[in-house]
Amino acid sequence: MTTILITGATGFCGSHALDHLSGGNAQLIAACRDARKLPDTFQGEVRCGDLRDPGYRARLFDGVDVLIHAASWSSLWSHADESAALYLTPTLATLEAAQLAGVKRIVNISTTSAAAPEHSRHARAPGIIRPLWPHLCNLVRIEDRLRDMAGPKLAIANLRLGLFAGARYGLGLLPILLPRLKTHLVPWVAGGRTGMPIIDGRDVGQALGLAATVPGLSGFNAFNVVGPTIPSVREVITFLHEEYQYPMPHFNVPFSIAYPFAWLMERLDPISPWDPLVTRSIIHLLEETGVTNHDAIEALGYRPRYSWRTAVRTQLAEMQIRQTAPMAMTRPVN
């Protein structure tokens, strides 16, 4: 029986991977810092600890065949030092510990924006370092390290996922965008014509489960993974307006204006008590990616089931309960 360990098992991606794999033929191990936050349905082994702890990392992979690395700390802008200390460094150390322990396959989570806009449609294309967004740069650095690690004894499946939506959401575009729409200051960028590749958490779980279990993977593999269809930004905001009465943007700017304006908003941050109205990273997320599920369908058997409207409705229902104040653009440091 294959033993699969999932880091970040209490988070958005990790918990949905547990849901998808539970009841299957694999033996599951949840790695997390607080077992009380695991899904109630999970009945497998739990290995609690902090990936920043070398002793924990050294013990973590005993008897493990496959690692789904879903642990993350994220920021939608700035915070380079925190991203390096809380995400990049422990992630690279965790991947190396898994390789030393003889793990046979690693499934990694990245983003369709890692190579946007020039190369995102080709999931195997190297990512692009974007100094405007330090955390995205660290995702690209991890992808590069995984390319070097892949070989006859270690298969890599790098999943570039679309924009998260659905139950158990964490930091994501929708919780950041919606309060800003209420200000009536957010414009259309490029007329809202670019795609917004939303993916429901349940489809994320399916993709992670398939990447961990499908036979025949070897070396380095990369896949774009999104929902069944990709709406335009205009379609999503129009839906939010018609179904939830969020304001529509009142004016339009091209990307060539949006980036400098976002830069200015970032510069004003030190004198503002709030996160910036818009950042260059948010503008970058609105760039066209042109991604499809073609390779994931062919190699993994991935079949997305949940429409972007279903994902948005699910998340907004949860936000009405969980989110009583605007979400910060970076996770708390702990």
Residues 6+ apart with CB under 8 A from 44: 18, 22, 27, 28, 29, 30
**pLDDT tens digits, one per residue of 124-135:** 999 999 999 999
Would you say the C-alpha torsion 198, 201, 203, 207 has a positive or negative sign? positive
With H, G, I as helix, E, B as strand and everything else as coil, classify residue 34: coil
Residues 6+ apart with CB under 8 A from 9: 15, 17, 18, 30, 31, 32, 38, 42, 46, 70
Q: What are the residue ranges in the chain where pLDDT is below 70?
A: 332-334
Contact 79, 276 (CB under 8 A): no
φ and ψ of 197, to 5 deg? -80, 75
Burial state string for 10-23 with b = 16 or more CB within 10 A and e = fewer than 16 = bbbbbbbbbbbbbe
For the chain, which domains are there? 3-166+198-227+290-306 (3.40.50.720)
pTM score, whole prediction: 0.96
Nearest partner of 33 among 90, 81, 82, 77, judged by Cα: 90
Give the model's pLDDT for residue 289: 96
Give the model's pLDDT for residue 333: 59
Give the model's pLDDT for residue 43: 85
Cis peptide before 332 (omega within 30 of 0): no
- Convert 77-99 into a string of H (helix), E (strand) and C (coil): CCCHHHHHHHHHHHHHHHHHHHH
**pLDDT tens digits, one per residue of 269-327:** 899 888 999 999 999 999 999 999 999 999 999 999 999 999 999 999 999 888 777 78
Q: How far is CA 306 from the centre of its chain?
A: 17
Give the model's pLDDT for residue 334: 56
